[in-house]
Each structure stands twice: as C-alpha cells, then as structure tokens.
Amino acid sequence: MNGRPSLLVVVSRYGDVPGGAEAHARSVVRHLAPHFAIEVATTTATDYRTWNSELTAGIDAVDGVAVRRFPVERPRTIDFKLRERRAFSGGHTLEDERAFIDAQGPYAPDLLEFLFRRGRDYDHALFFQYIYYPTVLGLPLVPERAVLVPTAHEEPAIGLDIYKPVFAAPRAIAYNTEEERGMVWRRFRNQRIPNEVVGVGIDVPADRDAERFREKHGIDGPYLLYVGRIVESKNSVELFASFALLRRSDPAHDATLVLIGDAEMRVPKDAGIRHLGRLSEQDKWDALAGCSAFVMPSLLESLSLVTLEAWAGGRPVIVSARSPVLAGMARRSRAGLAYSNPAEFAEICELLIGDPGLGDRLGAAGSAFVASTYTWPRVVETYIGLFDEVRARLAA
C-alpha cells in the first residue's frame, strides 16, 4: 500500500451509472486515490428504481480502483410503497421502519457481512447517502473509522428514528453545503461530531463551444438548459408548466427549453421543448456555454453538481425558492435567481433572455463562488484532515 492509509468507500451503486451522489462518490475516489489505498464496496445494481442485479458480483475495477460488487439478493419489493406508507404513518413501530429499509433496498446482506468481517481491516470507511440499506445497517458496524457523506435534505424519510444512529455514530461528517449542515444540526443535534462542509471540486474544461452545440443539435435562438433526470421527484412537472406559461405570455417567443438526461416520465411534445437524451460530457459543457440560463427546479437536493458546473462555466442559474439548499446557495453566491411560482419563473426568464449582460454578470459571480469554495485541492485537503482526525481518535 506504499504507506498510504487504506480507505473503503461504501456506496449503493458505482461506475457508469446516472445519479448525482454516485457521480459525487466516483469523483471523490478519483481525487483521493493518490493519497489513500482505496477500495469501493458496492452492489451489482445500476438502477435505483428496481435495484435489479445487473452486474457481475466479485472484484471489478473502475478508474484503476478495485471495486467489490456484492449481489442484491432481491430487487425493490412490490410492496415497497405499502412499507413506505406504514413507516411514515403515525403510530408505526421501529420494526416497520426496518421493513421499509429492507424493502427500499438495495438489499445486499453479503455487503454487510463483508463490513462485519473485514471492515476493520481498513483505516477508514467513507459512506455515501444516509438513506439506503448499506449505510443505515453498514455504518454502525464500523463506527469508529466511519466518515459519512449524508447527501441529506428535508424529506419524510429523514424523520424516521432508524436514521438517528446514522447521524450520531460516525467519527466525522462531510456535508455538501452550509444549508445541509444546518438542517442536520437542527434535526439531530449532532454538532459535537467533527465535521466540515466539503462538497466536491469542479473542473471546467478549456474546450467549450456553444456554436458547436447549436450546430450539432440544431438549436437556434436563446435557450434555457436543464441537465439531469427528468422525473416528478426533480420537479419536472412544474418546470414544464412554468415554461408553458413563458411561451403563452409571448406566442412569438423563440426561447427553447433544452433537456439533457434520461426521461423517467413523459416529456411534453409542445413547441419549444427539445429533449436530447443522455449526451457526452463535451456536449454538456458546450450546452452550458451557450445557455441564457441553467434551470434547476428540484426541491430535494443536498447539492447539485450540474448547478455548480453551470456557475463554474459562467452562466446564471434559475432555482426554486422552495429548495432551501439551492435558493440559499443562489443568495450566498449572488449568482442565481429564485422563483416561487410559474409567473415568477416566466418573468425571470424574460429578464435574463432580454438582458444577456445581466446573465453574464450573474454567471461571473457564480464562477467566483465556485472558484473560492468548490475546488479539488480544498476538497482533498479537507478530506485528509477529517481522516487524520479519525486516525488520531483511533490511536488515542
């Protein structure tokens, strides 16, 4: 191991899978690899909606890092919604909550067995996502060497008693934003646990060409951009309704809403909406370079990587005022505008499309915000500091 401390990263899915937390975990692993002897413990699933076992169990390699994949013994159960309703209802029991965790998945008892038998062979264990089975039941097996990246936001699940040990047991917590940390502190009163707002670093490629994107995909005129999963839980229905109001307010309006990402719901066939599907990283950065504004309507975020990328690329961002994290970041960065309803969304879009200079100024503020906060040297240094503290407490 060349004298490097050993680190086991535990995450429900890993590799070429869509998902912000999963991309977050992979990018952290890449940047910590020079400093730690890393292995990843994950499952054979690629789809969080089903947790079907689609990959081969055993030892794999991703980006040159060993990945231990454990089988998902059963996919998300048919009665998951029933278990969820029961766990979220008044008067439920802790057993109802445990049944919800098992039903939600990914149900991988072999991963827990590995943590029980081998978890203490590693100097550190880094757990991503508080909500899923591997963290809820795995972190308490190695609490004295565990660092948690909770990716937490206000949602019904976080109020369950079964999650209290997850936020009380780790030796350190790495939050994504000040807003996430404040919410967790208010809810769990766990300020005593060593913690830092760490987040991720953003690397902006030098080669970004808006005209290349326009020509490749036939996009004319001003456009708004959304990148991510197109699904009800990301508030996509409200986005479509808000954009429709913008179009109706001025029938001659030539603004386009460009969508990049997988659709898990029906995308309206209305004029002005272009769904391009999943594109390459180069296409994404080219698209960001030319947009009048990047739109992130999601309410349930602990951090939005693509929002940070939009700011890093110098573009303004439109977010929902009902998202505590994104609206808070927009205020602190002075690089985004928040809407409370479809009418405000339409007004903000009109403002940014009609005044490109304003968009450029907001984007410049966003670029400065990311450069001062979300850089890989700072992220890596902060993680190393947290792990040093964990080792010191183990040695005490």
* pLDDT score, position 253: 67
pLDDT over 50 (residue 383): yes
Work out whether strand 172-175 and strand 146-149 pair parallel, antiparallel, or are unpaired: parallel
pLDDT over 90 (residue 169): yes
**Across residues 19-32, what is the average pLDDT?**
89
DSSP-based three-state secondary structure for 158: helix
- Determine, yes or no, domain membership for 158: yes
- Same structural domain, 40 and 143: yes
The whole-angstrom separation of Cα 279 and Cα 50 is: 23
DSSP-based three-state secondary structure for 333: helix
| Residues 267, 213, 288: CA angle, nearest 5 degrees | 75
Residue 163: pLDDT band by 50, 70, 90 thresholds? very high
- Same structural domain, 252 and 174: no
- Determine, yes or no, domain membership for 1: no
pLDDT, tens only, 64-80: 999 999 999 988 878 88
pLDDT, tens only, 178-206: 999 999 999 999 999 999 999 899 989 99
Q: Which domain holds residue 339?
A: 210-372
- Same structural domain, 311 and 350: yes
* pLDDT score, position 252: 61
- Same structural domain, 215 and 361: yes
* Cβ neighbour number for residue 382 with a 10 Å cutoff: 15
The whole-angstrom separation of Cα 376 and Cα 199 is: 9
pLDDT, tens only, 228-286: 889 998 989 999 999 988 888 776 668 999 999 999 889 988 778 999 999 999 999 99
- Same structural domain, 25 and 164: yes
- Same structural domain, 334 and 380: no
Residue type for position 201: G
Q: What is the mean pLDDT of the chain?
A: 92
Indicate which CATH number applies to the domain containing 134. Answer: 3.40.50.2000
- Determine, yes or no, domain membership for 352: yes
- Determine, yes or no, domain membership for 287: yes
Q: How many CA atoms lie within 13 A of 210 on its CB side?
A: 14
- Phi then psi for residue 53, to 5 deg, are -75, 105
pLDDT over 50 (residue 1): no
pLDDT over 60 (residue 121): yes
Q: Can you state the angle between helices 305-312 and 281-290, rounded to 10 degrees?
A: 60
Structure tokens at 179: 């807003």
- Same structural domain, 166 and 153: yes
The whole-angstrom separation of Cα 211 and Cα 58 is: 45
pLDDT, tens only, 203-224: 899 999 999 999 999 998 999 9
- Determine, yes or no, domain membership for 366: yes
* pLDDT score, position 158: 93
Structure tokens at 372: 């001062």
Helix (H) or strand (E) holding 173: strand 172-175
- Same structural domain, 386 and 356: no
- Same structural domain, 359 and 382: no
pLDDT, tens only, 335-371: 999 999 999 999 999 999 999 999 999 999 999 999 9
Q: Please enumerate in sequence order all residues whose Cβ is within 8 A of that of 286, keeping only pairs 6 or more positions apart, or say none.
A: 208, 209, 210, 212, 213, 216
Residue type for position 68: R
Q: In 105-177, which residue ranges form alpha helices assigned H by DSSP? A: 109-118, 133-138, 164-168
Beta bridge partners of 173: 148, 195
The whole-angstrom separation of Cα 311 and Cα 288 is: 9
CB 335 within 8 A of CB 366: yes
- Same structural domain, 258 and 331: yes
Give how far the C-alpha of residue 19 lies from the chain's centroid of Cα atoms, to the nearest Å.
Answer: 7
- Phi then psi for residue 175, to 5 deg, are -85, 160
Structure tokens at 53: 């076992």
* pLDDT score, position 249: 76
The whole-angstrom separation of Cα 339 and Cα 113 is: 47
- Same structural domain, 351 and 254: yes
- Same structural domain, 32 and 100: yes
- Determine, yes or no, domain membership for 343: yes
The whole-angstrom separation of Cα 21 and Cα 128 is: 7
pLDDT, tens only, 315-330: 999 999 999 889 999 9
| Domain count within the chain | 2
C-alpha dist (Å) from residue 370 to 26, 208, 249, 344: 20, 18, 34, 26
